[in-house]
Chain A
Amino acid sequence: MNKGAKRGVMGLLIVGIVLGIILWGGFNTAMEATNNEQFCISCHEMEENVYQELQDTIHFTNRTGVRATCPDCHVPKEWVHKVIRKIQASNEIYHKLMGTIDTPEKFEEKRLELAQNVWKAMKDTDSRECRNCHNFDSMDFTRQESRSADSHDEAIEKGYTCIDCHKGIAHSLPEGYDPAEDLPGEG
């Protein structure tokens, strides 16, 4: 290899690396920019409905002041799952443009369907996003109410997942959902 060719290869390599860093960094920056609560509630559909309901719940207001934001529960932390979820979000952009839920009335009408989608997603992943913070191994059952401790014991034994019981803890439950018909381990 002569001197000129060597220089060319080195140049290409350096340009490649620099471009790679910029593109990769840019991609991740853009992804993170769309992965925070301020971005989520920049749509009035989220701000007027689900965000308002969240504020009364323990995931927003509590004794110690630790809180969960939208993506903490609704976007996976691991990169591959996160990108898959982000690609699925293109469907949400479509419905945003179509105005599918652009009034509280329309949102209310769709709430059962939307909630069921989220419940199914959480069940399919064994409540992966819940478990980023909540872990059976770190739970001290002696410090829980007896009702809670008994139920958690049963859940471990029978392999229930968080969302089996903990529905409607961050947002209002939808009309048409019957809690009496929804025992964990069924359906």
Chain B
Amino acid sequence: MKKVIVTLLVAMVTLMFTGAAISGVTSLRGDNEVSAPADKAPMRKQVITQGGVERSYKIQPPMIPHKIDKETINLKINTCLKCHSEKTFEEKKAPKAGDSHYIARDGKVLETISTRRYFCNQCHAPQLNANPIVENQFEGAK
């Protein structure tokens, strides 16, 4: 009998604590029901960084130091190439897409951007003036 009571008590206490622990956790998407839409992202302007953004590590794709909200990248058109293509970068004084972007997957060197590098913002991101959501001690490679 005593054993049963102790087991029940332990079970109760455990339930209380886990219950409290679960309700105390807030995920990054907030307290919303899973079926509800996520909180709206705060509206922030893309920022312009004069002189470009330093790389944080050696092979990091360079970040975009200007706004891209008026650019289009889709099946039909890529307006980034207006300045960053091999044909225009000199005239526009823009950095040319890296040589690696002109290599097809079989190693063949192409004259135009390889289709697998076509979607610029898959790797290159514009910058926002936002603080890190979680505090961290990351330091870029020097």
Contacts and interface: CB of A to CB of B under 8 A. Distances in A.
B81 A168 contact: no
Contacts of B86: 180
Interface in B67-85: 67, 70, 72, 75-79, 81-82, 85
Given A146-B50, A172-B72, A183-B91, 15 more contacts: A145-B48, A147-B66, A168-B72, A168-B77, A173-B79, A174-B76, A175-B75, A175-B76, A175-B77, A176-B76, A177-B77, A179-B82, A180-B82, A180-B88, A183-B88
Interface of B: 48, 50, 66-67, 70, 72, 75-79, 81-82, 85-88, 91
Contacts of A172: 72, 76-77
Nearest to A111: B76
A31 interface: no
A169 B69 CA distance: 11
Nearest to A181: B87
Contacts of A146: 48, 50
Interface of A: 58, 145-147, 168-169, 172-183
Nearest to B93: A150
Given A146-B50, A180-B88, A181-B87, A169 B82 contact: no
22 contacts: A145-B67, A146-B48, A147-B66, A168-B77, A169-B70, A172-B76, A173-B72, A173-B76, A173-B79, A175-B75, A175-B76, A175-B77, A176-B76, A178-B81, A179-B79, A180-B82, A180-B85, A180-B87, A180-B88, A181-B87, A182-B82, A183-B91
A58 B78 CA distance: 19
The majority secondary structure among interface residues of chain B is loop
B103 to A, nearest CB: 18
A145 B82 contact: no
Contact of A168 (B66, B67, B79, B87): B79
A166 B85 CA distance: 18
B109 to A, nearest CB: 18
Contacts of A183: 88, 91
Nearest to A166: B70
Contact of B78 (A145, A174, A179, A181): A179
A172 B72 CA distance: 9
Contacts of B87: 180-181
Contacts of B70: 58, 169
Contacts of A178: 81
Nearest to B82: A179
Q: 3 tightest A-B contacts by CB?
A: A180-B85, A175-B76, A179-B82
Contacts of A58: 70
Contacts of A181: 87
Nearest to A176: B76
